[in-house]
Amino acid sequence: MTPEESTYVAGIIDGEGSIMLIRFHNNQNPAPCVSISSALIELLKWIKKLQTRYLPKFICIYCKI
């Protein structure tokens, strides 16, 4: 990811997103989760494309796009 892309995504998360620790099952430790809400579907698709390029395959994305 270029420095410009990472800076832009950080700004989007800061303005329209949140970083949480979520326990998906009662017997598991909390796991980090990043959530972004936006009315711009193109923005969400671009961020999803970046995520699949740069994060490990075990990261799960829940996305309604």
pLDDT value at position 55? Answer: 65
Structural domain range at position 8: 3-54
pTM over 0.75: no
What token pair was written down for 38?
């936006």
> Does residue 35 sit within a domain?
yes
- C-beta of residue 65 within 8 angstroms of C-beta of residue 45: yes
Indicate whether 62 belongs to any domain.
no
> Looking at residue 63, what is its pLDDT?
56
Of 58, 19, 52, 23, nearest to 36 by C-alpha is: 19
Q: Which stretches in the chain have pLDDT values below 50? A: 58
Give how many domains the chain has, as a whole number: 1
Q: Whole-angstrom Cα distance, residue 49 to residue 45?
A: 6
Residue 53: phi and psi, rounded to 5, are: -85, -35
Please report whether residue 64 resides in a domain.
Answer: no
Confirm whether 65 is domain-assigned: no
